[in-house]
Chains A and B, each alone.
Chain A
Amino acid sequence: MKKEHVPQDMSSLGKITKEVQYATDGSGKYVKELSSGWDVKINALDVAWKDIEGRVAGARQQVLDGAASPLLFFMEYRLMDIGILADYTGFWKWQIKRHLKPDVFNRLSEKKLKKYADTFNVSVEDLKNMTIHED
């Protein structure tokens, strides 16, 4: 790619930092050039986040319908699968699968709820009510 073809489409990263891209100058020699972003990448990221938003909304609905516990909502919101959540909380995967059932979740001790709440970076109260304050 030639230096002058390095894309300069403003991305959310571009507002914070430009990225280095190696590109060729007039003589064909590679030099470092800065890029503020590329539409193709921005769109790919948008597609990923739109999918995530859909999953979060779907999870919220499942919780409201009583088909899943609030854990499902926060897992989608924090982009976690059961494996990652197990690593962060120290619970076994099969325990988390049980805790995803509303009636099991409702009987969890304060201590266990606190573990989940800390992992998701929310209070226990917010965990139960699917409330998000930050970002």
Chain B
Amino acid sequence: MKIDFQHLQSAHCESGVTSSLLRQNSFSKITEPLAFGIGAGLFFAYVPLIKINNGPAITFRTFPGLIFKRTCDALGIPVIRKKFSSTEQAEAFLLKCLEEGTPVGCQVGVYYLSYFPKEYRFHFNAHNLIVYGKEDDNYLISDPVMENATKLTSYELERVRFAKGALAPRGQIYYPKNQGEITDEQIKKAIVKGIKKNVSTMLHIPGWFAGVKGIKHTGNKIKKWRDKLGLQKAGLYLAQLVRMQEEIGTGGGGFRYIYAAFLQEAYAYLEQDELMEVSSIFTQAGDLWRTSAVQAAGIYKGRLGSQEDFNLMGDYLLEIAELEKTAFKALNNIKWQ
């Protein structure tokens, strides 16, 4: 059983899955950047009370599932989403979808994801992939971060669908309900909605730990890490920051570039000059995130380590926070025609 489905590689798993699942209805018009932007995928949060792999929990993305949900909501497409308490039910439902010819998105954990290299397998449960068929005991998998389509045995797929720990996927499956063609008018409205949503999550979210305020807070915090944690642990924390920032499926600098690409594509639909201007600000922000990562690497590799080096690292984040604040304020001020 194999559904006619074309694998498409993307930069980020959930925006990739969203774009791929909507491809048929949108005639490929919902590209990855559009899905990311309409889904208001850009985010930042420093969660001080939670530790991941013995380091600080820093996220550059929204909650898993939100990009898909927001994109479909903004386009007016109903979403089917199911969680399961038993593995048998989860597989039966998946098979039913495939028999009906529907490719489906699955949330999975990466620790047991056999086609990932071992070095990348942590207990991270917010990865997304598409199942589009079954041959013998193998499920046909389109994992958006991989260059080519791949396969998992039914046991392997069950294991990653029922990975345990934080954000356990519990067999979660989702797909858009078939609603016919997506029109340009729908896309235009959805773009505006997505931008407004992202302005609100980055500028107006309460609390000091999230949005642009969160970036600023983290920048100030980093300056104190050297004294508070000692050089070795501070290096470990910075390495964690960079991994959260740049790693596959998470991306921080990379996310800014996707957002910049989104604004360019949005301009093609809405022709508001501000979109192009703000796009270039996000390009700068992405570049600066990467510069900060290079500085962090200098510290965790042991090449740098003075308090000034930590100050510079913190200052990069303060500068980024200002830059992104300017960008989102400009988006907030657009008079939509």
Contacts and interface: CB of A to CB of B under 8 A. Distances in A.
Interface in A42-61: 43-45, 47-49, 51-52, 55
Contacts of B286: 1
B119 A49 contact: yes
A135 interface: yes
B287 interface: yes
B300 A135 contact: no
Contact of B168 (A38, A39, A44, A87): A87
Contacts of B301: 43, 47
A30 B33 contact: yes
Given A22-B254, A40-B246, A48-B53, A1 B290 contact: yes
Contacts of B253: 1
A84 B123 contact: yes
B11 A43 contact: no
Interface string B228-247: 00000001100110110011
Given A13-B248, A39-B297, A79-B111, A47 B145 contact: no
Interface stretch (B190-198, B258-266, B327-335): B258-266
A13 B117 contact: yes
Interface string A79-122: 11001100110000000000000000000000000000000000
B164 A87 contact: yes
A133 interface: no
B257 A20 contact: no
Interface residues of B, number: 50
Contacts of B254: 21-22
B148 interface: yes
B97 to A, nearest CB: 26
B148 A17 contact: yes
A40 B303 CA distance: 13
A14 to B, nearest CB: 9
Residues of B contacting A: mostly: helix
A32 B166 CA distance: 32
A22 B165 CA distance: 32
B10 interface: yes
B255 to A, nearest CB: 9
B93 interface: no
A51 B260 contact: no
Interface residues of A, number: 38
A17 B290 contact: no
B137 to A, nearest CB: 19
A51 B242 contact: no
Given A39-B297, A40-B246, A22 B145 contact: no
Contact of A1 (B164, B240, B287, B293): B287
B172 interface: no
A12 B33 contact: no
Contacts of B243: 41, 44-45, 48
A25 to B, nearest CB: 11
A87 B11 contact: no
B128 interface: no
A41 B253 CA distance: 12
Interface centre among A19, A21, A51, A135 (most CB of B within 10 A): A19
A30 to B, nearest CB: 4
B59 interface: no
B236 A51 contact: yes
B117 A40 contact: no
A29 B279 CA distance: 10
A40 B165 contact: no
Contact of A83 (B145, B165, B236, B283): B165
Given A22-B11, A43-B300, A48-B239, A15 B261 contact: no
17 contacts: A13-B117, A19-B11, A20-B9, A20-B10, A22-B33, A22-B254, A28-B280, A32-B11, A41-B243, A44-B246, A45-B119, A47-B235, A48-B239, A55-B54, A79-B53, A83-B166, A87-B165
List 6 tightest A-B contacts by C-beta distance, closest first. A30-B261, A87-B164, A47-B239, A84-B165, A44-B239, A22-B257
Given A40-B293, A44-B240, A45-B119, 4 more contacts: A18-B147, A20-B9, A34-B147, A47-B300
